[in-house]
Chains A and B, each alone.
Chain A
Amino acid sequence: MSNKYRIDNVAKVEPLFNKRDEELAALKEKRASSSLKAEEYVTSVEAVKCEALDGVIELLKTEKHELALAKKDLEAKVKEIEARYDVADKAHEEGSMDQKAYEAEYKTIRNELIPLHKELLDYRKDLLKKDQGIIFAKKDKLEASIKKIEGLLKANKANCKAKEIEKEEFLARKEALEAELKELEKAKAEVKREAVANEQAQFLLMSKGQKFGYKFVRFFESIPEKVGGLGKKIAKGLKKLVINIGLFFKGLWDTFIHGDWKTKISYFIMGFGSIARGQWLRGILFLLFEVVFILYIVLFGGHYLGRLYILGTVESVTGDDGTVVYGENSFNILLYGVLTIFFIIAFAYTWYVNVKQNRIAEQIIKDERKLATAKDDLRAMVDKNFHTTLLALPTLGIIIFTVLPIFFMILVAFTTYDANHNPPLNLFGWAGFDNFAQLFKWTNSGGASFSMTFGQILLWTLVWAFFATFTNYFLGMLVAMLINKKGIKLKKLWRTILVFSIAIPQFISILYVSKMFASDGIINNAHMWIQRTIFKAADPQPIPFWDNQWLARITVIIINIWIGVPYLMLIVTGILMNIPADLYESANIDGASPWQQYSKITLPYMLFITGPYLLTSFTGNMNNFNVIYLLTGGGPKDINMFGNAGKTDLLITWLFSLAINDSNYKLAAVIGIMVFIVVAVVSLVVYNIIPSTKNEEEFQ
């Protein structure tokens, strides 16, 4: 209890709390034996608690005072020592102290000051802690008062019910108590603000390690509240959604009931209202859309939509004369069914717009304003609403060519579409969550299990992404700093050479590098020649770069360094030039070593600026198909892994071979969805943690 209030002298505070506990227990007894009325009880409880807390505050204030005095003494001491700096400066200027003695004196003074500064820092921290204790105590006092008021309110209500007081009195009391409560809440909020400010102040004084630890612990502490908060938000959101849906339908119904006959007919013949009111362009467009939609459903979409639930039942029949009568095509059913659903959604929206138009038009007419004519509409399309006109086609394109295929692929993960269920000859059907269940089935009937292989490959994918990103990052930084150093000649030449490797398409360069490291490639030939001629080995063996799983993994990471460093070097060079040079100068004067300069100036600055870049690089490397596939093809292949997976396979390359070599589209789709989930989770978590997205002042 004393720790909560940050009291050092525990002995002094114990009697306070003991007294309080005794009195509280006595009060409880009295209440239980009904010798005390409710109002008196709550008032007494509050008085007892506040008394104890007042004592705590007093103690804290005393301790704070003592600390302040000690701090003052220390500050005076520090000032004394710092005065010696001026003495030394003067002596040096006058010439009575030579350079060496001058520097030595500075060093001595600095060494004396360092522990004193630390002590001062500790004092500041302790003072803040005492303040925090006082704030906690104040908060508890307020809570006790609030509880008292709540108790009084309750008693008031009870009294009114028991007819012990008149209604007016009850209401008056209630009002007064509620006003008091409001005041208390205000005070509580004020104290809370003080608490936050205190916490921030304490945070700024923490060392780096402590800050990290604090953030770490806070992160985990905040998870349950965040989850709870999220849950509440979702519940609220759902409630809002349901209410809004209800209102929406009510609105539609109202418009129908209260609208005129033109509006009523518009519900069935879209655009009728607009045409009847003279807005013939809009009306005709609506009508056209409705006609097209109905034709589409009747002639094409309706059929596919109807078969969507079963994805086809009519099998194909092959004849002995080489002919085939194709049955239903599950692929087409799925594709066109989804397209039809999108179309229906578009139609529903357009219908709603049509209804809204009618309501707005009626309102305009009621207000005796003019309705927009066709001419106005056309003019608006190229003027006021030009953005709509311009974006209409691209939006449509994106929906059809990007959103629809993605949606389709997600659905494939819930079907049985694989090599044995390959349209047009075979049908595939819905598999529900079976494919995902395979992810969690730990063993398979002997042999490789999908879930274990998935776990292995996921682990390697994360490890690879981590190493690929950070090796490139730090080595790129190193190379950039090296080239940037004063005294390096031909800077542009070195940069150009490094950039060459970007110029060659990865497809070509990676393929020949892969050949270089093969058992009969250049590197091994050289190695074996060296073994034979220099070490006189009898039977030199080539290094199995691509056959040994660990060598393959390391080699892949190292080759990726060669590919990625030039990019990083270019980025870093630009950023390095932006770090203010006076930071380095002042660091030099203060005697910082090169490593300290790097770790305290360059690195934090770089990490802050390239935080988002690192994140995108990490997620990009998780999906880095080119490097892995062209170098090793995912090998060396492992018989213990499902679906011809290999030891350097990433999720994305495994997905590729499952789809192309095994035609196992359903599992490939499942992996695709899992890749998305992993990347999304990593991105969101990391993005919210890294400081680059937070306050820059703290960084400074």
Chain B
Amino acid sequence: MKKIFKFSPILAVLLLSACNFKYTYEIQGVNNMRGGGADGDLWEDPSGIDDSGTYDIKIWVDEKIESLTRSQIGSFEMAYGGKYTIKANIEPMDEGGAASSMLQDVQSGADIFCFAQDQLSRLKVAGAVSKITGSLKTFLQDTNSADSIKAGSINDTDLYALPVTSDNGYFLYYDKSVVSEDAAKNMTTLLAALKAKNRTLNFEGRSNGWYAASYFLGTGCHSNWTIDPISGKFTSYDDNYDSDLGVIAGKGIREIADASVVSKSATLSDKCGAVVTGIWEYEAAKEQWGDNLVCAEMPSFTVDGTDYHLSSFDGYKLMGVKPQVDSKKASVCRKLAQFLTNRASQLERFRTVSWGPTNVAVSEDPDVLAHPGLTALRDQHKYATQQGQCPGAWFVALQATATAIETGTSEEEIRNILHTYSAGLDALKSED
């Protein structure tokens, strides 16, 4: 008798928590039906496989969209008329963390996860993403922008992930009370304007290969890496950074070596008047500068009298589906991933967290067109380059190269630095 009294509070709490969980989950599912519905959003599976049932699926998404994803899964179940019951285990994990966790241990990793496109080849080699073929591939190609499909493909032919966002590039934010519109068009005038008001430009052009590439790509350099389709290894490269074009880019980098006006950071700080970063800083920028915030394409830089427009990387975030041993679960995972990246889901994500869509229809939504950050990205898109697949170490090599260039570096020294860079490229190819 006494023991029951002792245990009853515990039992009660357990029961209540279980009910509560299920209750909230269902309510959310019902309330967010606006995401569901057919009309081109759902891919029709021609295989006719009977994959109905209950599935335990582990999902890794950024914490900003964790609860949104949960509701979208509820909508998925509604959309398929209850054919599938998904026991979703959603863990908040940023894209970088998701990729490295999958690489460390594929088998215990998530079934569906989001990652940035530069990790695609590594994930493919490790067997963390499954190939998408057939009608699903066609469906995705029809509904998403061509560049986003390219980002999810290896060697431009094999699709390995579903596009989620298109806004993983970078552009210029500035405070219009400090920098005028004209001044923001060229790096020299931009830096002068900032210096006059004792503010800084936060730009990782010399300390991060991803940003440093904007100079080289702007002068026309390229670094293309070929991947062996079967093994996924980097087998060869075509790189012309060690050339006159590269030297011009190096001279441009000298300008941003002035540490008194350029701060090595990709986030806002109290002292900054301009920052080069991605859409993820939009909210913070709005908070800091309010109505003075302007989003614009990257400026150009001048070397020996000629202007070169700074390029950037067009970045995409992708969703990968892990290869499954159970073919039914594999089928359901793909359907779920397709749903989570369809028009309605992308629109919902834009409305909630302002993530730029890859879906063609959503990109033409008036709200999307009006968003300043996304507009800047679109403007910059003319000058941007597809990131493509390259070894992760390539970014570090580029970072070291850019860091070696100072304000006083001579042309001769720049050439030597570039020679060292290109001599190290062989080592970045995959060894066997």
Is there contact, CB below 8 Å, between A324 and B401?
no
Given the known interface contacts A419-B125, A425-B127, the answer about A322 and B259 at a Cβ–Cβ threshold of 8 Å is: no
**Does B311 make an interface contact (CB < 8 A)?**
no
Query: For B47, B393, B430, which residue has the most chain A Cβ atoms within 10 angstroms?
Result: B393
**In the complex, chain B residues whose CB is within 8 Å of the CB of A637:** 396, 399-400, 403
Q: Choose one: A324, A418, A542, A547; the contact of B323 (CB below 8 Å).
A: A324
**Does B258 make an interface contact (CB < 8 A)?**
yes
Given the known interface contacts A422-B126, A424-B127, A547-B403, the answer about A639 and B263 at a Cβ–Cβ threshold of 8 Å is: no
A690 CA / B132 CA spacing, docked (Å): 66
Given the known interface contacts A323-B330, A419-B125, A420-B233, the answer about A318 and B131 at a Cβ–Cβ threshold of 8 Å is: yes
Is there contact, CB below 8 Å, between B327 and A323?
yes
| Interchain residue pairs A-B with the least CB separation, the first 4 | A425-B127, A324-B323, A447-B427, A639-B400
Is there contact, CB below 8 Å, between A320 and B134?
yes
**Does A426 make an interface contact (CB < 8 A)?**
yes
**Does B264 make an interface contact (CB < 8 A)?**
yes
Given the known interface contacts A419-B122, A419-B125, A422-B125, the answer about A540 and B260 at a Cβ–Cβ threshold of 8 Å is: yes
**In the complex, chain A residues whose CB is within 8 Å of the CB of B431:** 418, 420
A539 CA / B127 CA spacing, docked (Å): 52
Cβ distance A279 to chain B, nearest Cβ, rounded Å: 44
**In the complex, chain B residues whose CB is within 8 Å of the CB of A544:** 259
Chain B 24-51: CB-based contact to A (< 8 A → 1; otherwise 0): 0000000000000000000000010000
Is there contact, CB below 8 Å, between A639 and B420?
yes
**In the complex, chain A residues whose CB is within 8 Å of the CB of B240:** none
Task: Scan residues 88-138 of chain B and give those whose CB is less than 8 A from a CB of chain A.
Answer: 100, 103-104, 106-107, 122, 125-127, 130-134
Chain B 122-162: CB-based contact to A (< 8 A → 1; otherwise 0): 10011100111110000000000000000000000000000
A425 CA / B333 CA spacing, docked (Å): 19
Given the known interface contacts A420-B231, A528-B260, the answer about A323 and B323 at a Cβ–Cβ threshold of 8 Å is: yes
Q: Which residues in B have some Cβ–Cβ distance to A below 8 Å?
A: 47, 100, 103-104, 106-107, 122, 125-127, 130-134, 200, 231-233, 258-260, 263-265, 269, 271, 321, 323-327, 330-331, 333-334, 392-393, 396-397, 399-401, 403-404, 420-421, 423-428, 430-432
Query: For A321, A418, A447, A661, which residue has the most chain B Cβ atoms within 10 angstroms?
Result: A321
Is there contact, CB below 8 Å, between A662 and B330?
no
Is there contact, CB below 8 Å, between B325 and A326?
yes
**In the complex, chain B residues whose CB is within 8 Å of the CB of A638:** 400
Main secondary structure of the interface of A (DSSP, over half): loop
Cβ distance B30 to chain A, nearest Cβ, rounded Å: 30
Cβ distance B431 to chain A, nearest Cβ, rounded Å: 8
Q: Which residues in A have some Cβ–Cβ distance to B below 8 Å?
A: 316, 318-326, 418-420, 422, 424-426, 444-448, 518-520, 528, 539-542, 544, 547, 636-640, 642-644, 660-663
**In the complex, chain B residues whose CB is within 8 Å of the CB of A642:** 427
Q: Choose one: A324, A424, A447; the contact of B424 (CB below 8 Å).
A: A447
Given the known interface contacts A321-B330, A324-B324, A520-B265, the answer about A444 and B258 at a Cβ–Cβ threshold of 8 Å is: no
Is there contact, CB below 8 Å, between A425 and B259?
no
22 inter-chain pairs at a CB distance below 8 angstroms, sorted by A residue, are: A318-B130, A319-B323, A320-B133, A322-B131, A322-B334, A323-B130, A323-B323, A324-B323, A445-B426, A446-B427, A447-B424, A447-B426, A447-B428, A518-B264, A519-B264, A639-B401, A639-B421, A639-B424, A640-B420, A640-B424, A660-B100, A663-B122
**In the complex, chain B residues whose CB is within 8 Å of the CB of A547:** 403
**In the complex, chain B residues whose CB is within 8 Å of the CB of A325:** 325
Is there contact, CB below 8 Å, between A425 and B321?
no
Is there contact, CB below 8 Å, between B260 and A542?
yes
Given the known interface contacts A547-B403, A638-B400, the answer about A663 and B106 at a Cβ–Cβ threshold of 8 Å is: no
Q: Choose one: B133, B269, B327; the contact of A520 (CB below 8 Å).
A: B269
